[in-house]
Chain A
Amino acid sequence: MSEPRLRAEGLACGYGRGLPDVLTDVDLTVESGEVLALLGPNGSGKTTLLRTLARLLPPRAGSVRVDGEDAWRRGRAWTHRRVAIALQDDPQGSRLTVDEVVRLGRAAHRGWWLPMTHDDGAVVDRVLERTRLAAMRDRPVDRLSAGEWQRVVLAQALAQEPRVLLLDEPTAHLDWNFQSEILELVDHLARDQGLAVVVSLHDLNQASTWADRIALLAEGRLLAIGEPDAVLTADILGRAYRCPVLVDRHPLTGTPMVLPTPRTRRPNEPVRMP
């Protein structure tokens, strides 16, 4: 049997000496062509897990395997040719242009010293087109809106032409239209190009709509992992987020749909239950 594209085995993640583990015993696999959504309350370790999978944070226990090979053994350059991560950091006042920032993604393949080739330029052009950034390629990134910057970060990760794409809340600052557009693009990349995608999200319904499987982090571990139907239940969600939720079905797609239920009401308001 062939190895999954990405596999975490007995993974424990955390920061610095003396600090407790953020996550322990994380086992998961992501196949080529699959989208795994990462859910969990604030501080549950979504970003931490993504950084560990991207070989930016050394695991405290366990291993991260890409195509069956241990990422920490194979080294930095080897991993970054296969795994790209789009983080949430802001542009730090950099005066580089959109084009120049996206072009840096090619360093994963071209290295830090050799000049870029014609092929690199072609990849950058294609990626800018797909993320609808071509029109603003010469704008300095410190003058972009938060949503525009988020697309630049995604474009940079795509310019790495990875096999595994890790996205940390790629829809956080996007408007309604671009949220769907980005997730459609991610879906498309997984289906057509066989990328393995792990994407952290806060919107449970987005996860339900776009993910093949969902991993739910809470209580310092992987609380649940599986298809949306199995993970997005009132029981599991109530436990993870410590608030009551109502789970229904999407009228068109039949996927689970999560509705918030207010914990407090004004005294005279009638309570209507479906």
Chain B
Amino acid sequence: MSDRNVRVVLLLTILLAVGVASLGVGAVRLSPVEIVAALSGRSPAAAQHETIVWELRLPRVILAGLVGLALGAAGAAYQGLFRNPLADPYVIGASTGSALGATLVIVTAGQAGGLGFGAVPLGGFLGAVGAAGLVYASTAWWGPAPIVSLLLAGSAVSSCLGAMVWLLMVLHDQELARIVSWLMGSLQGRGWPALIGGGPYIVVGFLGLCALARPLDALSLGEQPARALGLPLKPISGLIVAAASLATAAAVAVAGVIGFVGLIAPHLARALVGARHRYLIPASGLTGAILLVLADDLARTIAAPIELPVGVLTAILGGPFFLVVLRRSVR
């Protein structure tokens, strides 16, 4: 096995360890022994532990992992496609687009209790593809654009779509509280339905991005050089936008807008496995998963008994990281 495969497997091992340990974190602390006992269904303590682990924490930790996987892999793909170290689902407006699409579905279709996990990801998907496609088309139209102009385009698209979300919320104020708490980005109380509803989309998007590794490598050299290698540019960039947006939209549908994980994860992963997307996509996904599981642990313990929305936490921690990368790239 090559050195870089070993590193990807190492990340997977860390993720599993962090995931299992996270089952013990929260208002009721569980030791590793108690976790294993509860998981295996032979908990001597009480059925209570089993309920906590199976009904609350296990789906939540898996969901955090999947959402992190989606955001990390989508971030790596957007960074490759845009040739921009600052691209991520949040920065280029895909998350906001996704939020708009999902909100539209919620206010029009969904008086359904809980989030309707069938139509919401679809609405989110269309919103994400629309926003990412718009930003991509505008940079393609300008020709090779400096790093900051992508950020400006992303933030313009983002604030425009964000304002539409606010508009929808004002018009449908009976849904206000629910939409706000969801928009802030949180994994609280989502449970198995969210996992079953959103998980498959995330897995499909992630596997799609893994399959697009070689085109992403070619695109990192520029669009013309990629075409010179025989890459069908438009269909393939469309596929990349679609796969990354599918993963983003599913993540937003189940957990709201969680920023910066998609930005940070690829940078850490690149330092570990290099730039080749065959390794970078899986490594970014796994790193994103580890980061979000840890962030969610922090979100539910740091101000206990109050739970912070994990999206607020990642934004607070991710902002400074963004500035560091920005400084390094526009030097």
Contact = CB atoms under 8 A, between A and B. Distances in A.
B118 interface: no
Interface in B192-237: 211, 214-215, 217-218, 220-222, 224-225, 227-232, 236
Given A108-B229, A112-B231, A95 B275 contact: yes
Given A100-B276, A112-B214, A92 B220 contact: yes
B274 interface: yes
With a 10 A CB-CB cut-off, give which of A56, A97, A100, A160 has the most chain B CB atoms.
A100
Contact of B221 (A56, A89, A140): A89
A107 B274 contact: no
Contacts of A76: 230, 232
Contacts of A136: none
B231 A107 contact: yes
A157 B308 CA distance: 54
B83 A94 contact: yes
Interface string A91-125: 11111110011001101100011000000000000
Given A56-B224, A87-B224, A89-B224, A96 B229 contact: no
Contact of A91 (B218, B221, B224): B221
Contacts of B231: 107, 112
Contact of A104 (B227, B229, B270, B275): B229
A155 B230 CA distance: 16
A234 B274 CA distance: 54
A85 interface: yes
Nearest to B227: A56
B276 A80 contact: no
A96 B220 contact: yes
Contacts of B276: 96-97, 100
Contacts of A101: 221
B215 to A, nearest CB: 5
Interface in A41-86: 54, 56, 76-77, 79-81, 84-85
A195 B254 CA distance: 56
A79 B229 CA distance: 10
Contacts of B222: 89, 92
Interface residues of B, number: 22
B230 A80 contact: yes
Contacts of A160: 229
A89 B220 CA distance: 12
A133 to B, nearest CB: 16
A85 B217 contact: no
Contacts of A54: 228
Contacts of A107: 214, 218, 229-231
A60 B230 CA distance: 21
Interface in A177-229: none
Given A100-B276, A104-B214, A107-B214, A94 B230 contact: no
A94 B227 contact: no
Interface in B159-216: 211, 214-215
Contacts of A93: 83
A94 B228 contact: no
Contact of A140 (B83, B229, B275): B275
Contacts of A84: 228
A89 B225 CA distance: 7
A106 to B, nearest CB: 9
A132 to B, nearest CB: 21
Given A56-B224, A92-B222, A104-B214, A97 B274 contact: yes
Contacts of B221: 89, 91-92, 94, 96, 101, 104
B217 A96 contact: yes
Given A80-B230, A87-B224, 19 more contacts: A76-B232, A79-B230, A87-B228, A89-B222, A89-B225, A91-B221, A92-B221, A94-B221, A94-B275, A95-B275, A96-B275, A97-B274, A97-B275, A97-B276, A100-B217, A104-B217, A104-B221, A105-B229, A107-B218
24 contacts: A56-B224, A76-B232, A77-B230, A81-B230, A87-B228, A89-B224, A89-B225, A92-B222, A93-B83, A94-B83, A94-B221, A94-B275, A95-B275, A96-B275, A97-B276, A100-B275, A101-B221, A104-B214, A104-B217, A104-B221, A107-B214, A107-B230, A107-B231, A112-B231
A-B pairs, top 3 by smallest CB distance, nearest first, are A80-B230, A95-B275, A94-B220
Interface of A: 54, 56, 76-77, 79-81, 84-85, 87, 89, 91-97, 100-101, 104-105, 107-108, 112-113, 140, 156, 160
